Amino acid sequence: MTRRQVGNGLLSSLTSTSVQRVSHFRNMYELTRKDLLIKNLKRMRKTLEKEDKHAEAAKYDFFPSTFVLPAEYGLFHEEYKKQPGSVWIMKPIGKAQGKGIFLFNKLSQISEWRKDHKWKADSPQAETYIVQRYIENPYLIGGKKFDLRIYVMVTSYNPLTVYLYRSGFGRFSNERFSMRKDEIQNNFIHLTNVAIQKTNPEYQAGTGCKWSLRSLKLYLMSKHGPDAVNESFYEVL
C-alpha cells in the first residue's frame, strides 16, 4: 500500500515518501486477530450454506467450537452445558508467545478468572478472549504435542497470489501429552510456544523442540507413506 492508502494518521510518526510501500494489506487484522479470524470463518461457512454450496461449506470443519468472550459468553455457556466437564482453552485475542492462555474444565474456573480480570460482558475495558473446545486427541510424535509454523508471502488478494516458504518447522512440547485433570494446567504439555517451552528445566535449544519441516515430513512418510503425507500437507496448505 502507498502512504495515501494507509492514511497519514497511521504513519504520522514515520518518514516516508509517496512512492514507498508498507508490507501489509489494508484490514489485515481481519485475519491476524483471533476473534476476527473466527468470525470471518463462521461468516464464510454460513454464506456458503445459504448459497446451497454445502460441499464447500463442509470444508470449514477444521476449527473447533469457538466463542468470543465476553460478548458470546451466553452462547458458550449453553454449549458447555451439553458436555459438562469437557476441556476448553482460553486465548487473549491480541497476545503472542502463549501469554494469557490457559485450559479449564469447570465454569467455576472461569468465574475466578473473571474476578481477577474485573471482566464483565458490558465492560468496554474487558479484555477480549476466545474460548475453544480443546482438541483432546491430537496427533502425537513421540507422545508429544506439536504444531506447524509455516510462512507464506501474499502479493495479491484479487487474484489470490501466494508464495510458500518451504523451510518451515514444527514446534514440540517438552512433556508427553496427557489429559489427566491434574495436568490440564501444565503448559509444558499443552502449549508448544518456544517462549513457554524454553522455561522448562528439560528444555534443550538444539534438539527436540524444533524440527525442520523437511525432517518432520520424512518422519511422517516413514510412518504413513509419501502419498498420504503429501495429500495431508496439500489439504493443509
Domains and CATH numbers, the chain: 1-25 (no CATH), 31-133 (3.30.1490.20), 146-236 (no CATH)
Cα-to-chain-centroid distance, residue 73: 20
Per-residue pLDDT of the chain (237 residues; tens, 9 = 90+): 544 444 444 544 455 667 777 777 888 889 899 999 999 999 999 999 999 999 999 999 999 999 999 899 999 999 999 999 999 999 999 888 999 999 999 998 887 777 666 666 555 566 889 999 999 999 999 999 999 999 999 988 889 999 999 889 999 999 999 999 999 999 999 999 999 999 998 887 766 688 999 999 999 999 999 999 999 998 887
H/E stretch holding 93? none
pLDDT at 5: 47
Cis check: omega of the bond before 159, within 30 degrees of 0: yes
- What's this model's pTM, rounded to 2 decimal places? 0.83
pLDDT at 122: 59
Query: Do 68 and 164 contact (CB within 8 A), yes or no?
Result: no
pLDDT at 186: 96
Query: Do 190 and 103 contact (CB within 8 A), yes or no?
Result: yes
pLDDT digits (tens, 9 = 90+) for 20-29: 777 778 888 8
Nearest-CA neighbor of 49 among 59, 34, 37, 39? Answer: 59
